[in-house]
Chain A
């Protein structure tokens, strides 16, 4: 376990029970998942039962208990994206990367997920890779987009 890394995160907070979600968010951002050993330490420090931590970690969509890939692909399946073929874009991504939606490629390069709405509805269908947005994505644009990250 990388204790100094975890200590840096914990030092930003006062150690109250309501710091749980921000602490987990920082761990998720830093480690790309919530490692078991780290959660044990968080439970002790914040005085929160480990069961509650797992309850929170499995309730919210941004948390993952297994490592995520280097790049996070979010295919928007909000209403407008759904109507304009966001689902097909997700399928095409899945097919080209050889990974199911919700999973990570074997080489740990890409995690593919669909999300509720990214808030760029005028450019539907929208894809977000890490912090970058791609608007009006169609199936034929998928290889070009993926190429930028390969």
Chain B
């Protein structure tokens, strides 16, 4: 990698890079994204390498372990270019056949292509799969094209073109104007207008100024930032460098949670490459602008996703938030003006500079511009990452892209916004998704987690899950959050044990009012959303637990009873081995008996049984 001393140099390098590349080059893209890694994508890639070696294809075929392909339900995914053939559920055993049939003979391996669950129609090419129709990838555009460890790949896709333009053809004010005009709002959850935040920071006289990329993606159920950091790390860097130039920052930090070790490695490699190429460091592209980026690893605290808490932890303190104002843009890291934006927000910036603010502002709804990446998971058939224009309806996302609910069960709710969000019931399926509409139904956009629930989920259990999560993650600094969560959890436990009262429902709502009004930071203020939304839309479920002592979704343990059906039990003893309390007994090959006194209702026997002999009531 050369050090780019001028824009002409960069342009010429890119020209040669693209000219050298054969558009008909056969490429095998093995997805190594968050969805495919746990399903063995490393083993699949290794099998390809071995097979290429055996067949002498090493020089002819390019193998890339790339970022997320999007449709995680089909893990491990393999995409073959230039034919754009997509295979799913690929295992190392399938690799010899793919090499033989597709790479050598140009045929499609029929059994590995996408098949629609309902129509049974097959789709060989990416564009034909319903999951990808209706999507508009901007942030995810490069993920299944580039090798995240190759800066050349990023440059060949037009990477650092936005930076070149910003640095040499635009004044800082013009950059901020463009971001402002694009209508980009913070993708981390708050939805604050990015341009306005930058302007506040630019206007501050205090020096030095800092830039922070918030990669502390703590919302359970959200993994888009992980996918971007792992799959397209240079886009994050490029956005940050542009932002730093606009506000006049000299130092940037990327705060990554420690649960994402691969993201840390990929970002570090990208930073090293960018330094070598002269995109980071002194006198970037001879513009006179100096800027560098460093990674800061999170140490495991959900509250550090909150910007003031994040700053405190970067200063070497515990991650307790502090009241705003002053906002970090006025007095942030070490008391200096600091712009904090989320990973996805930064990744949008180069595209806005490249394609123009008007183009970006032309996508989306009145007050929410551009696209949003969602992690569509839970009870849908086609789980994965989707990027859609703001204003796409929940129904389109859940049914058209997500292929509807698993096993044709009934849709119950979609949970957005993580622990700060709410559960949206079926009556709002036609809601166009944007910042304001989600808020109007008691949820929030959040970072983009979208967890679909069907009739097997209990909404009281879901509320308890989030309150318990927040109870454990609350830093304990302010009383409304600390005590409020403790009491909410207590009441929810009472309800789940069949000891709840209807007065307690009212008490929970009262607690929520206090917490929303008086907590210091967003964690406590928004912790009420899971409670409020479930009580509002699913009150009858609470009442079933309180009045009838029943959990119709068969989730809340204390209200369940497990039995073993002597007719179907084969006496295989799988349940006996699993039972942690020794509640199951009987002779081998004879029906087993479950002692109700000893049973702790953990459900391990139910899951272990291969013959459906364990029943729940």
CB distance from B403 to the nearest CB of A (A): 13
Residues of B within 8 A of A117 (CB): 218-223, 259
Separation of A88 and B475 alpha carbons in the complex (Å): 27
The closest CB in chain A to the CB of B35 belongs to A122
In the complex, which of the residues A21, A133, A140 contacts B37, with contact meaning CB atoms closer than 8 Å?
A133
Selected contact of B578 from candidates A24, A48, A56, A95, CB within 8 Å: A95
Which residue in chain B gives the minimum CB-CB distance to A137? B38
The CA of A116 and the CA of B469, in the complex, are separated in Å by 8
Complex Cα spacing A99 to B384, Å: 34
Known: A133-B37, A139-B608. A61 touches B221 (CB 8 A): no
Q: Is residue A73 contacting chain B, with contact meaning CB distance below 8 A?
A: no
- Is B248 interfacial (CB 8 A cutoff)? no
- CA distance in complex: A121, B300 (Å): 18
Given A80-B221, A91-B604; A48-B37 close (CB under 8 Å): no
Q: How many A-B residue pairs have CB under 8 A?
A: 161
Q: A140–B605 Cα gap in the complex (Å)? A: 10
Distance between Cα atoms of A133 and B604 in the complex (Å): 22
B301 CB within 8 Å of chain A? yes
* A79-B221, A120-B38 given; A18·B316 CB < 8 A: yes
Q: How far is the CB of B386 from chain A (nearest CB, A)?
A: 11
Q: Is the CB of A135 within 8 A of B221?
A: no
Among the listed B313, B377, B379, B608, which residue makes an inter-chain contact with A21, where contact means beta carbons less than 8 Å apart?
B313
Is residue B296 within 8 Å, beta carbon to beta carbon, of the partner chain?
Answer: yes
Instruction: Count chain A residues whose beta carbon lies closer than 8 angstroms to a beta carbon of B.
Output: 51
Known interface pairs A19-B316, A116-B469, A117-B259; A122-B301 also in contact (CB < 8 Å) = no
Asked, given contacts A78-B220, A92-B604, A117-B220, whether A124 binds B301 with beta carbons under 8 Å apart, the answer is no
Contacts of A35 in B (CB 8 A): none
For residue A134, CB closer than 8 A to chain B, the reply is yes
Task: Indicate if B208 sits at the interface (CB-CB under 8 A).
Answer: no
Cα distance, A98 to B242, chains bound together (Å)? 53
**Do the beta carbons of A83 and B378 come within 8 Å of each other?**
yes
Q: A95-B580, A117-B259, A121-B223 are in contact. Are A62 and B300 (CB under 8 A)?
A: yes
Question: B603 contacts which chain A residues (CB < 8 A)?
Answer: 85, 88
Known: A21-B299, A117-B218, A139-B604. A123 touches B39 (CB 8 A): yes
Contact with A along B237-273 (1 / 0, CB 8 A): 0000000000000000000001111000000000000
In the complex, chain A residues 45-74 whose Cβ is within 8 Å of any chain B Cβ: 46, 48, 52, 55-56, 59-63, 74
B375 at the interface (CB under 8 A from A): yes
Residue interface mask B374-388, A partner, CB < 8 A = 1: 010111000110000
Tell me how far the C-beta of B39 lies from the nearest C-beta in chain A, rounded to whole angstroms. 5
| Dominant secondary structure of chain A at its interface with chain B | helix
Do B465 and A79 have beta carbons less than 8 Å apart? yes
Name which of A17, A52, A95 has the most chain B CB atoms within 10 A of its CB. Answer: A95
Residue in contact with A119 in the complex, picked from B223, B457, B465, B466, CB distance below 8 Å: B223
**Residues 2-40 (chain B) with a chain A CB within 8 angstroms:** 34-35, 37-39
Return the contact of A121 from the options B221, B313, B379 (Cβ within 8 A): B221
Q: Across the interface, which residues of A come within 8 angstroms of B260, CB to CB?
A: 119
CA distance A65 to B375 in the complex (A): 35
Q: Is the CB of A48 within 8 A of B299?
A: no
Residue of A nearest to B41 (CB): A133
Report Cα–Cα, A56/B309, bound state, in Å.
13
Write the nearest CB–CB distance from B62 to chain A, whole angstroms: 26
Is A25 on the interface with B (CB-CB < 8 A)?
Answer: yes
Interface: B493 (CB within 8 A) = no
Whether A112 sits at the interface, judged by CB under 8 Å, is no
Contacts of B223 in A (CB 8 A): 117, 119-122
Distance between Cα atoms of A46 and B317 in the complex (Å): 13
> B72 contacts A122, CB within 8 Å?
yes
Q: In the complex, are the beta carbons of B604 and A119 less than 8 A apart?
A: no
A126 CB–B CB distance under 8 Å? yes
CA distance A88 to B605 in the complex (A): 10
Asked if residues B299 and A83 are in contact (CB atoms below 8 Å), the reply is no
Query: B61 interface residue, CB < 8 Å from A?
Result: no
User: Quick check: B607 and A88 within 8 Å, CB to CB?
Assistant: yes
B300-357 interface (Cβ within 8 A of A): 300-302, 313-319, 334
30 CB contacts below 8 A, A to B, read: A17-B316, A24-B299, A56-B299, A56-B317, A59-B318, A60-B318, A61-B299, A62-B258, A78-B221, A79-B378, A83-B379, A83-B462, A91-B580, A116-B302, A116-B469, A117-B221, A118-B259, A119-B259, A120-B35, A120-B38, A121-B34, A121-B220, A121-B449, A122-B34, A123-B38, A123-B72, A124-B377, A134-B38, A135-B35, A136-B39
Given contacts A19-B316, A95-B604, 14 further A-B contacts (CB under 8 A): A18-B315, A18-B316, A21-B316, A60-B301, A80-B451, A91-B602, A94-B580, A116-B473, A117-B221, A119-B222, A121-B383, A122-B72, A126-B38, A139-B578
- Nearest 5 interchain pairs by C-beta: A135-B38, A122-B72, A78-B220, A61-B300, A60-B299
